[in-house]
Chains A and B, each alone.
Chain A
Amino acid sequence: MSDQFALIDARGRAAGAALRSTTSFRAVPDLPTPKRHGWVRPALMAAVAIALVAGLVSLAGRDAAPVDERDPKNLRYVIDDLPDGWSIRSVKDAGVQTGEVPAMGRYAVLFAIPGDPSARAIALWWADPATPEGEEYPPVKFSNLLFTDDVEEFDAAGRRAACGTTSEGSYLCYVQTDQGMVQAVAKHLSLQQVRDALAGLEFVVGHPTISSEALPPGLAIVYSGPEWLSPAVMNPDSAEVASVEYQSSDGTTAFLVVGRAEDHDLAESALQQPWSALRVGNDPGFNAVQGPEPSSRSILWNRDGHTFFLNITGDHSAAMSLANSVRRATDTEWAAASQRGEVLQSDQGVVTTATADSAPVDTAPMPTLDPEVEVIDQRMEMVVTANTPDDVSFGVLIGDEVIEGASVKVIDESFGVRFADGGGFGGSISEAIDVQPIDTSHLGQDLLSTGAVATTGSDLPVTLRVTATNGVRYLVDLIEMPNHPQVRVAVVMLPPGEHVSSADVVDRDGLVLSGF
């Protein structure tokens, strides 16, 4: 079968390359302009003409008519202090859904402190395994914890559960329930608080939630429904918000999104970005910065019963200048802006958001499961030799020295190996533990830029032999996986810029058993 796999792999790569090559000679399709409803532009032109003829509306003035708080027009805001070279690219009213968010296929519940996206929060994700969405997007497995730290298994009110710490310092957790796996992410909470909360996991009208008694103090549901790409308050396409897109002469864009505060709690974005508190004028707000300078900056704030989201690429002072100059647009301004930019109209229909039902129906006691998560985290001694000692790096040492910091985790059907040496290099691999006797697909093909790994269920191979593109040859003995003596593994990591030229596994007599 391994030969067949290699043949299929070679044919697949050739077919993929041929397809890419063929495509490179084809013209890419033109992008259509956003759809318009036929009545939009005439209606706007008529509105502007009426305003001009009557001479009753000042361009700089405010609307004098009483404001209907549920009127979508009430969410029309603009940036007053627009820098030179910037212009409006598009405007969209509330009630209009533009674009389409790919279905994530999962259900999400977010518990946070209302109004504060920078504070502690915990979210649940779940997909009904009996639905196509659950089949298409298997949401969670304990083995996703392979690359978290300090994995800890526990009993969550009779359910099997485990948590690990992510690189961002949050907790990633999984709970096995009769209704399928539930994933949880928590920030600014202690592990004990997370465990207590997950002990209160329950299903209400078929959806997961956490009982109010088990929630950490101050947390409340701020969102429940289909998993969001981003909450509506940060989504300019949402029918629940009005939005204006600006563009500078150099192509930089800024986006202003406005929704009703009663509909959009700022905490809905708690897990989206690393928020910190600030003030926008006299109003409390939050700021998040992502990426290197010029960074993407997001500002969230509440004012006058509205929630505002501003995103711009630029420095802090520029972003705050724009945020501070946001003001309500007059009908005339909006009409004029609509004439200058694109008026985005719905081409997908209004998308409504499902909300959680509240009547608990799932009151049957859960069967008690014996915790079976098998987590082993231990050092793995891997002895590597090389013919050019000067080129050996990344924890791959010479002679009989040992890789320091390599660790192995085994979680259910998967294992992971993580490397770290004193020089700061970190690397890791993961693989299903149910390996073929010798799976040649592991010999370099997926590790071309970094190294090679061999996994085997056979006791014949004893050594992984790797030759790098710089001519250095590495030899490393296969070792048994902790608690899985039927599976053995060997890994070689290569210096940056080097690739695997060849890789094979050999038996005790040096006979090549399988090669790449």
Chain B
Amino acid sequence: MTIDGEAGLTTSSVASSFDDFYASTARRTLSLAHALTGNWGDAEDLVQDAYTAAAKKWPQLSTYDDPSAWVRRLVLNRSVSRWRRLQREALAVVRLGARTDEQVDTTDPVDPEFWAAVRRLPAQQARVVALFYVDDLSVEQIARTLGCSDGTVKTHLSRARGTLACELQMEDES
């Protein structure tokens, strides 16, 4: 649900320096990256690349209301190629009548089955889910991050929830 107006706007304070910005946002971004990649190695690579790019653009980014949105978008964009590969793998497995066998680190107490199911969603749906549950962003903030309308975010979120409900229920039954 979108809320505009005085009570609904959330304005994050802009970190006074890049180091402060990195220290205050890197872990949250790492969580997002892990949700999208499924392993810490890829997630750390994504975060490292994104913040390296942000450091170079910091004088400009630091003037933004929310520089972390730029970093989030970079992480989301750079996860696309991996997404598409996973999508292809998932489709191939479906054709073979079996479930995808994406490897998850079962030692992580982060409900790997849930995130594996998220990663099998269409890319944009998965991004919305990750931003919603990991970054705890509002629909409006997600829309700004992804450059789409609030309604589009809600549609993705609704469809993703429906797919996840079916898929995870199937898993439970199996």
Contacts and interface: CB of A to CB of B under 8 A. Distances in A.
Given A12-B114, A138-B148, A450 B7 contact: yes
A501 interface: no
Interface string A415-441: 000110000111111111000000001
Contacts of A432: 151, 154-155, 158
Contacts of B53: 99-100
B165 A15 contact: no
Given A427-B4, A446-B138, A12 B129 contact: yes
Which of the listed residues B44, B73, B111, B151 has the most CB atoms from chain A within 10 Å of its own CB? B151
B22 A13 contact: no
Interface in A236-279: 236-237, 245, 251, 253-255
A513 interface: no
Interface string A62-94: 000000000000000000000000000000000
A430 B30 contact: no
Which of the listed residues A98, A251, A419, A425 has the most CB atoms from chain B within 10 Å of its own CB? A251
B73 A102 contact: yes
A136 interface: yes
B82 interface: no
A311 B27 contact: no
A98 B56 contact: yes
A26 interface: yes
B74 A15 contact: no
Interface string B23-66: 10011101100110000100011011001110111111011000
A350 interface: no
A427 B152 contact: no
A441 B161 contact: yes
B48 A29 contact: yes
B91 interface: no
B28 A235 contact: no
A414 B8 contact: no
B1 A427 contact: no
Given A4-B165, A394-B7, A429 B155 contact: no
- Please give me the 8 A-B residue pairs with the lowest Cβ-Cβ distance, nearest first: A16-B133, A446-B1, A4-B165, A427-B5, A15-B111, A99-B56, A426-B5, A255-B59
Interface of B: 1-8, 16-17, 22-23, 26-28, 30-31, 34-35, 40, 44-45, 47-48, 51-53, 55-60, 62-63, 70, 73-74, 77, 80, 108-111, 114-115, 123-124, 129, 132-134, 136, 138-139, 146-152, 154-155, 158, 161-162, 164-166, 168-169
Interface of A: 1, 4-5, 7-9, 11-16, 18-20, 22-24, 26, 28-32, 34, 98-100, 102-106, 135-139, 141, 143-144, 147, 230, 234-237, 245, 251, 253-255, 290-291, 296, 311, 313, 344, 394, 413-414, 418-419, 424-432, 441-442, 446-447, 449-451, 453, 493-494, 496
25 contacts: A8-B161, A18-B109, A18-B110, A20-B134, A22-B31, A22-B108, A23-B27, A26-B30, A28-B30, A31-B48, A34-B52, A102-B77, A138-B148, A141-B151, A237-B57, A253-B59, A255-B59, A296-B62, A311-B60, A311-B63, A313-B63, A428-B5, A431-B1, A441-B161, A447-B3
